[in-house]
Structure 1
Amino acid sequence: MSENLSKLTKFGVSIWLDDISRERLRTGNLAALIREKNVTGVTSNPTIFASALSKGDAYETQLHDLAVRKVSVDEAVRAITTFDIRWAADVLRPVYDATSGVDGRVSIEVDPRLARETEATIAEARALWWLVDRPNLFIKIPATLEGLPAITAAIAEGISVNVTLIFSLERYRAVMDAWLDGLEQAKAKGLDLSQIESVASFFVSRVDSEIDSRLDKIGTPEALELKGKAAVANARLAYAAFEEVVNTPRWQELRAAGARPQRPLWASTGTKSPDYPDTLYVDELVTAGTVNTMPEKTLNAVADHGRISGDTIRPFYEAAWNAMAALKSVGIDYDDVVKALEDEGVDKFAVSWNELLETVTTELGKAR
């Protein structure tokens, strides 16, 4: 294992892989990453599955069987994706056992077309939880306004949840409130709170992409000087909000009843701009009790030349607040930015899901 990845683990960051494919599973690649690069979890999303289905022949046999059975495209997609998630969960089960259920987790997302439908999201979360049937599963629910009550409902039923598509600090606080509501309801039902895990996926690189483009349009020297500063500042302030919540009597009461914290997870940590170091959103977001889910390219970059030097979040709260204030002073409308990012994120995942449906439709047609 590389020294950099060992340092990340030492400083309390769980390293997860933001990718999954049948090919990665059947070749033993995921097992190798667990063994050699300290990967302790896997996240997936509709874009990842659409990409996996479009490459190679790993899904050929299952597609043939689904075609022969004349299943619907939606049923085929669910069968294919849950098969991969179950397999990955089994590969990661030793990590889950060794960490008492903290890591060794695999995430699958509810149908993104349901992101604005509360009841449908709850029903889908239940269905996926039942279908995969692995204790180390996370159901990904988007942090839309409609998703918040679904998060509460799922956690209240004992379903472990990965809350995804979080961009704004205000929404993140609402997510934590929804999580606490769910735990309180689960406690009232007599459920074992120690078995209910959750992470909150706070998106990083997309914030810089959106704000940088706006800074370019403003074009002043003061604005251009702030490029590449927003995403890390936003994430650091999210962690500050997390610290506030876990120091409240409300959380302490739940903790005493066996509940575990909803760890902040840094998502979208591959840099999108060639102007920035390719390990930026790992190096600058290190602190204990967090997760960083990385594309393999970013994982390899961190292993090779990351700069892991200790806690790069908690000592920098003041600088983060100053950066956000400076962005506001040059004309950046934070509320408009995060709304645009959420809308775009929901739309992109829906487009990827439709691409996945189209790919499966085509492959089923070939198999028939």
Structure 2
Amino acid sequence: MTNATPTAQLSDAGVSIWLDDLSRERLASGSLQKLIDEKNVVGVTTNPSIFQAAITSGSDYDAKIAELAAQGAGVEETIFEITTTDVADACDLFAPIAAATKGVDGRVSIEVDPRLAWDTAGTIAEAKNLYKKVDKDNVLIKIPATLEGLEAITATLAEGISVNVTLIFSLDRYCAVINAFQSGLELAKENGHDLSTIHSVASFFVSRVDSEIDKRLDALGTDEAKALKGKAGVANARLAYQVYEQLFSTERWEVLTKAGARTQRPLWASTGVKDPAYPDTLYVTGLAAADVVNTMPEKTLDATFDHGVVTGDTITGTYAESKGVLYALDALGISYNEVVALLESEGLDKFVASWKELLADVEGALATARKAS
């Protein structure tokens, strides 16, 4: 293990490395394939912000937009076509990994329109449309873990569609997500689906927790407060892994396992360090354990590959210490519930804002293409 690269060591520790990015350029240039070959990348996640950046940052999509403009396509139809095409092509690239891992890895995620996050019926319909359009076994449909999203998660899984549950910040909501997942599999079983073909991950966000809590600790300014900086994100995620261990060792889960079900793996998201004072691999090497996914922006992936120090499982056995961090924050008057509620709201607002920017940019590109023709 000492001779292997840090990303290979991370994989050996049970962590699936997924890239938190996708673009036409990555697919066409071979850079994504290179990350698969050299840095142990075995999946991809996308979100509205990633697509907004990809589509508006260069000319890779100009020809397709011009083609769709000539066909009379509207802005939403154009975005749907472009994003699902990229995801379908990425699914083809990762198909050998999906086959080798029986669908556990080799996954590519695409998110429902973020404006539907509070619309259960709309989310279910959009999830079905995305799944049908991409038409690849290794796609994951991303659904935010809002209260309205929980029912949509269950209903989508019940149709035999694999799901990436996103924007999870709180331990209570994570418990509800696992319940929604298991309920979905129970319904899928009733509907006659093969449970072994239904996969799911639960995306638990990390760095944003530190960003918000550190801001509050700085405002307090005491030595006690400063000593807690940079500890909440990892502690919260480690306690999520404890929840995972507990809720996937129940009698309810045992019944589903016997029917072929696979666990919904925790996925560490938002793993790029926001504070330059912290080690740039903090949310990678500090969150290694069996059966987890870490989806990284390329900068974090490169840092991990270059100088990550992987010491095996860094989660198991940390639960008492992690609870101590949350208790200490509470004692300082920092409300965990208030923080996680704010982060969910801000996360959704950010995705909606990115989506609206994308709509405006693509509308402008369609108008330009129509004039040119």
Return the offset for 1:364. 1.0
Cα deviation, 1:146-165, whole Å, max 9, x if unaligned, reads: 00000000000001000000
Query: Who is 1:287 aligned against?
Result: 289
Give the counterpart letter for 1:321 in structure 2: K
| Match of residue 246, structure 2, among 238, 244, 247 | 244
Contact 1:21 1:49 in 2 (8 A): yes
Aligned to 1:221: 223
Structural RMSD (CA): 0.9
Aligned to 2:93: 91
The offset of 1:2, in angstroms, is: 5.7
Alpha-carbon shift at residue 349 of structure 1 (Å): 0.3
Paired-residue identity, %: 59
Could you give the per-residue CA deviations for residues 86-106 of structure 1, whole angstroms, max 9, x where no partner exists? 010000001001111110000
Q: Which aligned segments of 4 or more residues in structure 1 are displaced greater than 6 angstroms?
A: none
Structure 1 residue 223 displacement after superposition: 1.1
- Measured in 2, the distance between the counterparts of 1:324 and 1:243 equals 20
Contact 1:143 1:175 (C-alpha < 8 Å) held by counterparts: yes
Alignment partner of 2:174 out of 172, 175, 178: 172
Unaligned stretches of 5+ in structure 1?
none
Question: Which letter does structure 2 place at the counterpart of 1:22?
Answer: R
User: Do 1:2 and 1:304's aligned partners in 2 also have CA atoms closer than 8 Å?
Assistant: no
Q: Match of 2:160, SS?
A: coil
Are the aligned partners of 1:2 and 1:37 in contact in 2 as well (CA < 8 Å)?
no
CA offset digits 1:273-319 (Å, max 9, x no partner): 01100000001000000000000000000000111101000121111
Secondary structure (helix, strand or coil) at the match of 1:86 reads helix
**Alignment correspondent of 1:145:** 147
Measured after TM superposition, the shift of residue 69 of structure 1 is 1.0
TM-score normalised by L of structure 2 = 0.98
Distance 1:230 1:317 in 2: 13
The answer to whether the aligner puts 1:80 opposite 2:76 as a matched pair is: no
Match of 1:156?
158
The one-letter amino acid of 2:361's match is: T
2:339 partner amino acid: V
Alignment map for 1:255-274 (pairs within 5 Å):
255-274=257-276
Q: Report the counterpart of residue 34 of structure 1 in structure 2.
A: 36
| Partner of residue 133, structure 1 | 135
Alignment-derived partner of residue 324 in structure 2: 322
Structure 2: unaligned runs, 5 residues or longer: none
**Cα distance in 2 between the residues matched to 1:149 and 1:207:** 25
Question: Which of 200, 203, 222 is the equivalent residue of 1:201?
Answer: 203
Distance 1:14 1:365 in 2: 42
Q: Residue 230 of structure 1 aligns with which residue?
A: 232
**2:192 aligns to what SS in structure 1?**
coil
For residues 40 and 244 of structure 2, what CA distance do their matches in structure 1 show?
A: 25
3-state SS of 2:318 partner: helix
* Distance (Å, rounded) in 2 between the aligned partners of 1:6 and 1:43: 20
